[in-house]
C-alpha cells in the first residue's frame, strides 16, 4: 500500500531492456545462441554448476 502511494507520487522508473552481446555461436559465427540461465558475479549455485557440467558434456559429444 505504501509502495503504491510512493509510485503514484514519484512515478515509475522504466529501465532500458538489457541486450545480450553473445548472440552468435563462437565456433561457426552463424548459429544463433539462446540464453538458458543468467547468473550474477557469484556464478551458479553448486547444484546448478553440476547440471551445467553434465549439459556441456552432452553437447560436446559427436
Which pTM value belongs to this model?
A: 0.32
Q: What is the mean pLDDT of each run of 10 residues along the chain (62 residues)?
A: 83 75 72 78 82 81 60
Tell me what pLDDT residue 22 has. 64
Rounded to the nearest 5°, which phi and psi values hold at 24? -110, 150
Tell me what pLDDT residue 9 has. 85
Q: Cα separation of 42 and 44, whole Å?
A: 7
Amino acid at each position: 500500500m505504501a509502495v503504491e502511494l510512493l509510485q503514484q507520487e514519484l512515478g515509475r522508473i522504466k529501465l532500458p531492456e538489457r541486450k545480450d552481446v553473445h548472440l552468435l555461436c563462437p565456433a561457426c559465427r552463424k548459429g544463433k545462441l539462446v540464453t538458458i540461465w543468467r547468473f550474477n558475479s557469484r556464478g551458479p549455485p553448486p547444484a546448478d554448476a553440476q547440471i551445467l557440467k553434465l549439459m556441456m558434456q552432452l553437447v560436446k559429444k559427436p
